[in-house]
Structure 1
Amino acid sequence: MMGMDPRQMKKLMRQLGIRMEELEGVKEVVLRLEGKEIVLKEPAVTVMVVQGEKTYQIVPGSEEVREVLEIPEEDVQLVMEQTGADRETALKVLKETKGDIAEAILKLSGE
């Protein structure tokens, strides 16, 4: 296959039932993992369709890893019940205290 003309390659792929297309205008792709996100900025994304199945190939321009703190709804409810705070405030303080329920309750109780 070395030295094969790109047009010949496309024709051969079509004959094999393989379609490829470049997705234009992709700004970022986010992979959400437990406890973190991987953000791929300005990626080149190619979609390959083989027998009706899609495969995405992603080549990032740059990569950024972000830590993500997920606060369980039960924790938010507990802080709300114990302090009388609204949901938004309880969630904000839980994030500030990195999910520490006791510290969030103390902070909202003014102690």
Structure 2
Amino acid sequence: MFGGGGGFDPRKMQQMMDQFGIDLTEIDAEEVVIRTEDEELVFHDAEVQKMDAQGQATYQVIGSPESRARGEGGSDGGAAAGGDTGDGGGGTPAVEPQDVEIVAQRTGASEDRAREALEETDGDLAAAVERLE
């Protein structure tokens, strides 16, 4: 279908990506969490690539997720959720302590700034890191 020989020439592929203004970056992610209304898909040691093209960022996650019901974050998850509802947080979603730590480590920001960025991005780790960089 693609002609003889098979395979890609990495230099030609890079030239084409440069020509179209596409930048591909590997992200050394420790964990990726996708939260839906009913469940959380947790990827441990996933391969993550960020592709910037024409001002839009696209993330590709490669790995096998572990599925768990929302709120099954372990003993810390329940305590954090209970603390957030008692403070009258105004409906902002609970931010997981490990997410705050990851964002703070990635950006060098304080944990308070990392927590604020996570709250502003509804718990989106990548968006919070991007906001602080």
**Secondary structure of the structure 2 residue equivalent to 1:8:** helix
Which runs of 5 or more residues in structure 1 are unaligned? 71-86, 92-111
Determine which structure has more spread, i.e. the larger CA radius of gyration.
1
- Could you state the TM-score of these two structures normalised by the residue count of structure 1? 0.55
> How many percent identity over aligned positions?
39
1:23 partner letter: I
CA gap of 1:4–1:68, structure 2 versus 1, over 3 A, is closer
CA positional deviation for 1:22: 0.7
Q: Is the 8 A contact 1:35 1:69 kept in 2?
A: no
Which runs of 5 or more residues in structure 2 are unaligned? 73-81, 87-133
Tell me the number of residue pairs that the alignment of Structure 1 and Structure 2 aligns.
71
Moved over 2 A (4+): 1-4
Q: CA-to-partner distance for each residue in 1:81-100, whole Å, 9 max, x for gaps?
A: xxxxxx76xx9xxxxxxxxx
1:42 to 34, 42, 45: 45
Spell out the pairing of 1:27-38 with structure 2 (5 A cutoff).
Answer: 27-38=30-41
1:63 partner letter: P
For residues 4 and 63 of structure 1, the distance between their equivalents in structure 2, rounded to whole angstroms, comes to 29
For residues 40 and 65 of structure 1, the distance between their equivalents in structure 2, rounded to whole angstroms, comes to 9
Identify which of structures 1 and 2 has the higher relative contact order when contacts are C-alpha pairs closer than 8 Å and 6+ apart: 1
Who is 1:77 aligned against?
none
For residues 35 and 68 of structure 1, the distance between their equivalents in structure 2, rounded to whole angstroms, comes to 6
Who is 1:54 aligned against?
57
Spell out the pairing of 1:9-88 with structure 2 (5 A cutoff).
Answer: 9-24=13-28, 26-60=29-63, 62-69=64-71
**Secondary structure of the structure 2 residue equivalent to 1:7:** helix
- Could you state the TM-score of these two structures normalised by the residue count of structure 2? 0.47
CA RMSD of aligned residues (A): 2.4
For residues 14 and 59 of structure 2, the distance between their equivalents in structure 1, rounded to whole angstroms, comes to 18
Structure showing the higher strand proportion among its residues: 1
Q: Is the 8 A contact 1:41 1:63 kept in 2?
A: yes
**Secondary structure of the structure 2 residue equivalent to 1:29:** strand
